[in-house]
Chain A
Amino acid sequence: MTKLTRDDVLRLAQLARISLNDDEATEFTDELSAILQYVEQLSGVDVSGLKPTNQVTGLTNVMRTDEVKDYGYAPSDLLKNVPKTEANQLKVKRMIG
């Protein structure tokens, strides 16, 4: 039975790039443990000989012609929701220290 610790939760939050306040960290420690304990009922299920299902359509390698199409979107339309732009590009904080 998985019982997450507060440190586990903070580590997960860091992996998911979400900062948590103290209350949330406490709350999630109990809630996430309960959810994981519920889904752990699968651990005893016999699945020998079965392959995992990634998708249900049965379609494989769906291709379309590699050609430039005009969908009628101006770059300014596609960038209008971006918090910061410069020269039609997303502007983000420095990545490499």
Chain B
Amino acid sequence: MGGIIADNSSAPQELRWESIAELAAQVRSGKTKAADLVEKSLAQIAKLEEYKAIIATTAERARERAKQIDAKVANGEDPGRLAGVPFIAKDNFLVFGADTTAASNILKGFDAPYQSAVIKKLEAEGAICVAKANLDAFAHGASTENSDFFTTLNPHDKTRVPGGSSGGSAASVALGIAPFALGTDTGGSTRQPGSFVGIVGYKPTYGLMSRSGIVAMASSLDTVGTFARNIDDASLVIDVMAGKDELDSTTIDRDTMGYADVQGDLTGKKIGIIKEYMGEGLADDVREQIEQAIAKMREAGAEVTEVSLPSISLALAVYYILCPAEVSSNLSRFDGQRYGYAYADAANLDESYTKSREIGFGKEAKRRIMIGTYVLSSGYYDAYYKKAQTVRTKLIQEAEAAFKQVDFLIGPVAPTTAFKIGENANNPLAMYLADVMTVAINLIGVPAVSIPCGVSGENGLPVGLQLIAPQHKDRALLELAKATEEIL
């Protein structure tokens, strides 16, 4: 399990947690109290407040749930496979015990009337949510700098971003606040922060986990992300969350084998390096680590070749049409009438809408709503939205062709290591480029995971390796990731 957090990191000494399976086993046997695990996590949150990973704790409810789980153990009942294991939820998941804000001013004070489907599944197996993590407001961003509240600091270097949009969740796991955390991944928001802080960040096949009870960003792309220190931990959590949900009609069937207890072997695995991702624009220090990882995979018996996806460089343009279009539609519900901030002095209904939205939304949400409104508007729809949807088909076909040649694809997660706070803040287009190697995966709908593969020779910051599998091959991807993790 060691070696997941970079040894030369400047992150504060990580709090050591046993593996998730071991923690749950200890709680179930009565050897460890769920209450103690919750206190350990809450103490770490208080100690590491300066990193601003957390928006609010759910301390009271977490303590109450721990008490119930410990009582179950005392009564000889089974508290579940994740008994007493603390976790952090990105603040766009509806969770009881604290407000759900999506790090936006417009949702400040929103008290969830029900919980996300995946939170319910985790709770049914005894896991305990202890806090809500920071994000770019509404998950619009790649650094947490678009949070309406504050920017989270990278655990390895406080002058740098932890990535985004799920930066608070990623930093929480890297800081040892909890053994796992939930994020969302619409264009890279779990893989990229996983890479920036040196942990595992998993994005499932679209539809594998229910989106019910998660603040929607771009519904045809949104997935539930998992952060953990290693593949064993991640796969257990994924196994608990995966599967159909009647409240989300886009959900798909589980793998009959499930997702836990994976074992992998690289021997004979056909792996394609995405040629276009290794070209111009990739920083040398990232390239060096990726190439070393590939060499090790070859030594372990993998057959690694180069594969071309000729249109993949168009993915970012496709994404920045489809995503804002869906964002503008999803955010239309924030109108000052149903929930969220409402402008009190409006003279009429229209002013109530326009002022509530002007004051409630941050700049990036407004930017995306405006772009989305433009590309969906009559006269421009065909040229932008429909064209992007059709190029999306082209990307899917190219990926399908690639997966006829190889079992998996690999490449970097992001073109650089974690960038400096403020570096891209005044240039939205430059910030969008941080997603250039992750968005295609969401458009295609396949699963992908970022695993740590070394640290930059220039700045000592973590570098992530992206492993990608065909649709529905999440279990095979976890097996590959497990085997790769073992040799890196």
Contact = CB atoms under 8 A, between A and B. Distances in A.
Interface string B344-386: 0010111011110110010100110111011101000001101
B291 interface: no
Contacts of B358: 18-21
B314 A41 contact: yes
A77 interface: yes
Interface string B92-135: 00000000000000000111011000000000000000000000
Interface string A39-52: 11111010100111
Interface size class of B (residues with CB under 8 A): 35 or more
Given A42-B314, A92-B337, A54 B370 contact: no
Secondary structure at the A interface, as helix, strand, loop or mixed, is: loop
Secondary structure at the B interface, as helix, strand, loop or mixed, is: helix
Contacts of A53: 389-390, 392-393, 396
B367 A28 contact: yes
A47 B390 contact: yes
B317 A82 contact: no
Interface string B22-50: 00000000000000000000000000000
A90 B252 CA distance: 35
Contacts of B339: 81-83
Nearest to B355: A19
A52 B384 CA distance: 12
Contact of B111 (A12, A28, A81): A81
B411 interface: no
B429 interface: yes
B458 interface: no
A9 B348 contact: no
Given A38-B429, A45-B394, A57-B250, A16 B328 contact: yes
A55 B393 contact: no
Contacts of A51: 390, 393
B367 A41 contact: no
Interface in B246-264: 246, 249-250, 252
Q: Which of A14, A28, A43, A45 has the most CB of B within 10 A?
A: A45
Contacts of A78: 113
Contacts of A64: 246, 249
B428 interface: yes
Interface in A3-42: 9, 12-21, 24, 28, 31-32, 34-36, 38-42
B282 interface: no
B340 interface: yes
Interface string B445-463: 1000000000000000000
Interface in A55-87: 55-57, 59, 62, 64, 71, 73, 77-78, 80-84
Nearest to B319: A39
Given A17-B354, A35-B371, A42 B321 contact: yes
Contacts of A35: 320, 367, 371, 428-429, 432
A18 B366 contact: yes
B391 interface: yes
A36 B377 CA distance: 14
A83 B190 CA distance: 33
A52 B389 CA distance: 5
Given A15-B373, A34-B429, A78-B113, A92 B349 contact: yes
A78 B339 CA distance: 10
A42 B318 contact: yes
B317 A38 contact: yes
Contacts of B207: 56-57, 59
Contact of A47 (B342, B374, B377, B391): B391
Contacts of B377: 12, 15
B387 interface: yes
A35 B372 CA distance: 11
A32 B374 contact: yes
Given A36-B371, A57-B207, A92-B337, A73 B366 contact: no
B391 A59 contact: no
10 contacts: A12-B377, A18-B358, A18-B366, A43-B383, A47-B394, A56-B444, A73-B113, A77-B114, A80-B111, A82-B338
Given A40-B317, A43-B383, A94-B348, 19 more contacts: A13-B370, A16-B369, A19-B355, A20-B366, A21-B358, A28-B370, A34-B429, A39-B317, A39-B384, A42-B314, A42-B318, A47-B394, A52-B390, A56-B471, A59-B207, A59-B252, A73-B113, A92-B337, A93-B352
